[in-house]
Amino acid sequence: MIKLTKKELTIIQMNDTHGYIEEHWEHFYQGNHSTYSKMGGYARIKAYLEEVQKEKEEILFLDNGDTFHGTYPVVQTKGTILPPLLNKLGLDAMTAHWDFAYGPDAIKDLVNELTYPMLAINAYDKETDELIFPPYLIEEKKGVRIGIIGIAATIIDKVMPKHFSEGIYFTMGNEELPRYIHELKEEQGVDLIVLLSHLGFPQEIKLAEEVDGIDVLLSGHTHNRIYEPVKINHTIIFQSGCHGSFLGHLDLTVENKEIVNYHHQLVFLDETIKENREVKQLVNEAMAPYREQLDTVIGYTEVDLHRNGVLESTMDNLLLTSMLDYTGADVAFSNGWRYGAPIPKGPIIENDLWNIIPVNPPVSKTTLTGREIWNMLEENLENTFAKDPYEQMGGYVKRSMGISLYFKFENPYGQRIQELFVGEDAVEMEKEYEAVFVTVQGVPAKYGKNREALDIHAVDLLRDYINENSPVYTPLTHNIKGV
């Protein structure tokens, strides 16, 4: 008679930190209003891990990506500021999305500086069709043999700037995944399959529905704060917010290669967690060259600025207002970004401007017909709300100003818009409108004519506008409405 031995395993998830290496403001809802708390930072992450390790000894610590981009020091150094800090955290593996922002060669160089691998079963070289990163990693923790499979964001070569994916391409990973699960379970004899994904929560739910054999799925990309894991078939799925403000903590009991019990906690990395001194010192040293510049007060805001809204945000209204003020255009567009720490009502510092739009693109103009605006918005609504999760390609709804849009969430592609106005007037399909925008995600290259990059970049524009108009007031306008 074979005696079955129960084994205990702890998995810690970090996802979508977007370069936030020290504490920052985080947004919360309290009844019908918003509140803000100081959260996160690598020093708190390290401190929490040390407390867990005192009890558990060994943990599996994984990063879902969006790590090497998003804050001024990280973008200015093209991510090179991070490997020494990340290596101190003791990660086991990661996958990626915005990490490709400096190009495929740059992310390979960054990964070479890490003590752990980048995993992706769906990132291929265009010339050879070979994987550019390992598809999986096998780790043994507390006697549990774990196969860790990575899936990078599929949208990198589809809606992101072209230089992100020069020479490479990405699949959804759903067709490759069963083969790697079989290889790990049948040939490598692992006890558990852990999937480290950056597809986004809706896509990962569908993935778990159609692919058998995933024991734990760590979700990324959509910044969901999952308080209770979702279980699809036999797969435990969770995601842990963004900006390093939270960690996901999963304790498992494994018996005969099956999870027989589990407990999950969304860990709030707030001021009750004391910071690790060594990592805090390293962060301070990394930030030292930028501290004085980034702490400079630029002006003040009379409303909380954040991006915690699918249809519209006060943070992007500030950006769009400054763009219209500078150009006098009819309409303004920017991408529906999710990242960017909130700015509570009060002072705005230089650091906040770079958190709003760390890529700091040039402000651009183009001429759009009414039909192009209509079609562009229909396309964006499909990218955001597609019935098939695999067809969802964006962040939130494209940010806009100068228009009023009324739409049906539930309608099929091409049929969502009910009414569209430019200013107070119904859009005229053949009329031409002057549009101001930032990045190809604001107005894709296939739309418009006479595209022109102006001689001012987004951060400079924001700084000038705030200096001239402080305190700024850019509340929600409710110009995008589901009806």
pLDDT for 294-309, tens place per residue? 999 999 999 999 999 9
Q: Is the pLDDT of residue 2 over 80?
A: no
Place of tokens 């924001």: 462
pLDDT for 357-414, tens place per residue? 999 999 999 999 999 999 999 999 999 999 999 999 978 999 999 999 999 999 999 9
Q: List the one residue out of 156, 129, 139, 133 whose CA is nearest residue 69.
A: 156
Q: CA angle, corner 455, sides to 473 and 451, nearest 5?
A: 95
Element (DSSP H or E) covering residue 293: helix 291-294
pLDDT for 243-272, tens place per residue? 999 999 999 999 999 999 999 999 999 999
Q: List the one residue out of 358, 354, 332 whose CA is nearest residue 343.
A: 354
pLDDT of 3:
55
Inter-residue contact 374 to 427 (CB < 8 Å): yes
Domains, the chain, in order of start with CATH, read 7-287 (3.60.21.10), 297-482 (3.90.780.10)
Q: CA angle, corner 168, sides to 165 and 174, nearest 5?
A: 100
Q: Is the pLDDT of residue 95 over 70?
A: yes
Inter-residue contact 399 to 320 (CB < 8 Å): yes
User: By CB neighbour count within 10 A (0-12 exposed, 13-18 middle, 19+ buried), where does 469 fall?
Assistant: middle
User: By CB neighbour count within 10 A (0-12 exposed, 13-18 middle, 19+ buried), where does 67 fall?
Assistant: buried
DSSP character for 4?
P
Inter-residue contact 206 to 197 (CB < 8 Å): no
- What average pLDDT score do residues 413-432 get? 98
Q: CA angle, corner 186, sides to 182 and 188, nearest 5?
A: 100
Q: List the one residue out of 302, 327, 300 whose CA is nearest residue 470.
A: 300
Element (DSSP H or E) covering residue 463: helix 458-469
Instruction: Give the number of C-alpha atoms closer than 13 A to the C-alpha of residue 52, restricted to the C-beta side.
Output: 25
Tell me the torsion sign for CA atoms 322, 328, 331, 335: negative
Longest C-alpha distance within the chain, in Å? 81
Cα 139 versus chain centre, distance:
26
Q: 350-380 burial, b for 16+ CB within 10 Å, e for fewer?
A: bbbbbbbbbbbbebbbbbbbbebbbbbbbbb
pLDDT of 316:
98
pLDDT for 115-145, tens place per residue? 999 999 999 999 999 999 999 999 999 999 9
pTM of the model: 0.95
Mean pLDDT of the chain: 97
| C-alpha to C-alpha distance for 190 and 211, rounded to whole angstroms | 17
Q: Is the pLDDT of residue 225 over 60?
A: yes
User: By CB neighbour count within 10 A (0-12 exposed, 13-18 middle, 19+ buried), where does 446 fall?
Assistant: exposed
Q: How many CB atoms lie within 10 A of CB 462?
A: 25
Beta pairing class for 425-426 and 60-63: unpaired
What type of residue sits at position 197? S
Provide the edge-to-edge strand list for the sheet that holds 258-268. Answer: 93-94, 60-63, 7-14, 246-255, 258-268
pLDDT for 37-49, tens place per residue? 999 999 999 999 9
pLDDT of 1:
43
DSSP character for 275?
P
Intra-chain end-to-end CA distance of the chain, in Å = 64
